[in-house]
């Protein structure tokens, strides 16, 4: 059942939105922790370095609605803003990103709304990450509602780059000088090369350990 906020005063409706989306973050966060624990049990390896979550601020939601030409109402927030609840999963290696995404997508109670692979097809700025918009059921006392969550999965290096880019755009209020944009793209290429080399190095170590164990 699609989540539709109860009609009431603004404060009560916003409290309900917060309740639902915070619950959705808990649901997805728990799923990720269980997957990470299971991977450690089976493979003696944790693909997830850490997890960050947040609820978008009302000011940020209103800004996004206005940008897209929608009236600033709570029903519009729920219907048109897909990233009110956001969770970021930081992995060690690029291969972990696709492994985590696949394990989540295969869960029967998760419905995938959209997938954007900015790793295979980076943004012009150099930004890389794997984005999923999903819904997860929230079991309330009198009903079950589906809440949307945006999941971003990236490596530690990608996350460092994205954090710096965000700070730069905030500093220049979106009007970043061209030479800095070019430098960011070059740094993104270095990050990509580093991720690739670290992945190869890790695979080589795993092969070496496996061959030693077999002897």
Query: Domain residue spans in the chain?
Result: 10-158
Residues 78, 148: Cα–Cα separation, whole Å: 8
Percent of the chain clearing pLDDT 70 (strictly above): 93
Placement of tokens 């460092």 in the chain: 160
On the question of pLDDT at 142 being above 90, the answer is no
On the question of pLDDT at 137 being above 70, the answer is yes
Residues 215, 213: Cα–Cα separation, whole Å: 6
* pTM of the predicted model as reported, rounded to 2 decimal places: 0.89
On the question of pLDDT at 113 being above 90, the answer is yes
Residues classed as catalytic: 150
The pLDDT, as a whole number, for residue 187 is 95
What's the token pair of residue 74? 């709570």
Say whether 213 sits in a helix, a strand or coil: helix
Give domain 10-158's CATH superfamily. Beta Polymerase, domain 2 (3.30.460.10)
Say whether 122 sits in a helix, a strand or coil: coil
Neighbouring C-alpha atoms within 13 Å toward the C-beta of 12: 4
Distances (CA, A) of 205 to 26, 107, 126: 35, 31, 29
């Amino acid at each position: 059942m699609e989540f539709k906020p109860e009609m009431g005063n603004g404060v009560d409706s916003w409290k309900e939105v917060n309740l639902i989306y915070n619950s959705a973050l808990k649901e997805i966060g728990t799923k990720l922790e269980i997957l990470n624990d299971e991977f450690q049990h089976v493979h003696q390896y944790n693909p997830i370095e850490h997890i960050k979550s947040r609820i978008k601020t009302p000011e940020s939601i209103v800004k996004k609605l206005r940008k897209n030409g929608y009236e600033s109402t709570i029903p519009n927030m729920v219907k048109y803003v897909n990233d009110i609840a956001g969770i970021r999963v930081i992995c060690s290696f690029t291969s972990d990103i696709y492994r985590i995404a696949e394990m989540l997508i295969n869960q029967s109670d998760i419905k995938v709304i959209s997938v954007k692979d900015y790793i295979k097809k980076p943004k012009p700025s150099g930004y890389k990450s794997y984005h999923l918009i999903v819904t997860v059921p929230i079991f309330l006392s009198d009903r079950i509602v589906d809440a949307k969550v945006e999941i971003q999965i990236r490596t530690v290096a990608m996350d460092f780059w994205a954090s710096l880019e965000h700070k730069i755009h905030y500093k220049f209020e979106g009007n970043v000088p061209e030479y800095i944009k070019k430098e960011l793209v070059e740094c993104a290429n270095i990050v990509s090369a580093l991720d690739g080399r670290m992945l190869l190095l890790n695979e080589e170590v795993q092969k070496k350990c496996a061959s030693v164990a077999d002897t």
